Chains A and B, each alone.
Chain A
């Protein structure tokens, strides 16, 4: 019982409710703009006007994903990674940045999320509104009946005060379990958002590793993982396997050198030692 009622005092429950309610308008907005932009862009591709429209659509998708990340992080406390420094990401000339935008797997994942956010928003919003209705309809029904409004359930008409109490047990039950269900729905929504938008690309990881080594000189794998967690935030798909893969990639192109110390492999910038 305490576990059920604790959800009322947890601000994440209200965050989850807000996230589920905001998800529908945001989902509609994103879906409409993206589908219109893609259709218009591909349709006008032969006239070359389509190219800037497609690029603008991808830039919109990136901005929208940023907004979703902010909302998921602030409302659901979802472990969304901090994006790498804009100066590092936006290096190079216009064409290099355009190439980065098009070739980055993150862009396509963000596009998929912009399209998926409409059905996800509809599902989340429907669950949230249904739950709220179930929680409060039992208390609203006597007021509605007292106001002289008749309610139909199949062939049965609710028109007396006694009959209007029919929803009350259901509402009492949902007042008990509803916040906990909302909490769970918020957790699921957060996981979906993190799955789409909370990944750190291998290139970003490599940049993080190089900067950690540039700052601290020589580090072992554990220290590099700690540095990356400080940079991107803990639990943001930062696993030892991914760090090992980033180190392997940097080792293979000679950006990182390695020597064996007392506790294991020690990494530093520069030549292989």
Chain B
């Protein structure tokens, strides 16, 4: 394989790993904060479940981050993968 393409492939893999690590870090902060808020709610009067607002509000951001970390690809990545697929399966 071409050395430059190998370097590009390693770079994409490193970025993919970094994106996922950032997501798990974000998720850990989210889970800890939400657990803390739920404990405060349970230890206080525990009447109106106000903790659902940050749970769902921040939850939307977590979902968006998960899509970015696990699903979304840059146009360049899509181009390169399509080319690799076409060269391994010539018409």
In chain A, what residue has the closest Cβ to B79? A245
Whole-angstrom distance between the alpha carbons of A68 and B37 in the complex? 41
Partner of B2, one of A225, A245, A248, A265: A265
Whole-angstrom distance between the alpha carbons of A265 and B2 in the complex? 6
- State whether B4 touches A220 (Cβ < 8 A): yes
Partner of A264, one of B3, B12, B75, B83: B3
In chain B, what residue has the closest Cβ to A261? B2
Interface size, chain B (Cβ < 8 Å): 16
Counting chain A residues whose Cβ lies within 8 A of the other chain, the interface size class is 10 to 19
Residues of chain A in range 231-262 having any CB-CB distance to chain B below 8 Å: 239-245, 248-249, 260
Q: How far is the CB of A230 from chain B (nearest CB, A)?
A: 17
Asked if A221 lies at the interface with its beta carbon under 8 angstroms from chain B, I say yes
- State whether B76 touches A265 (Cβ < 8 A): no
Partner of B76, one of A220, A221, A242, A264: A242
- State whether B75 touches A245 (Cβ < 8 A): yes
Q: How far is the CB of B69 from chain A (nearest CB, A)?
A: 17
**Which residues of chain A have a CB within 8 Å of any CB of chain B?**
202, 220-222, 225, 239-245, 248-249, 260, 263-265
27 A-B residue pairs with Cβ-Cβ distance under 8 Å, sorted by A, are A202-B75, A221-B3, A221-B4, A221-B5, A221-B7, A222-B3, A225-B4, A239-B8, A239-B11, A240-B7, A240-B11, A241-B11, A241-B74, A241-B77, A241-B80, A242-B76, A243-B8, A244-B8, A244-B76, A244-B80, A245-B76, A245-B79, A248-B79, A260-B2, A264-B1, A264-B3, A265-B4
**Which residues of chain B have a CB within 8 Å of any CB of chain A?**
1-5, 7-8, 11-12, 74-77, 79-80, 83
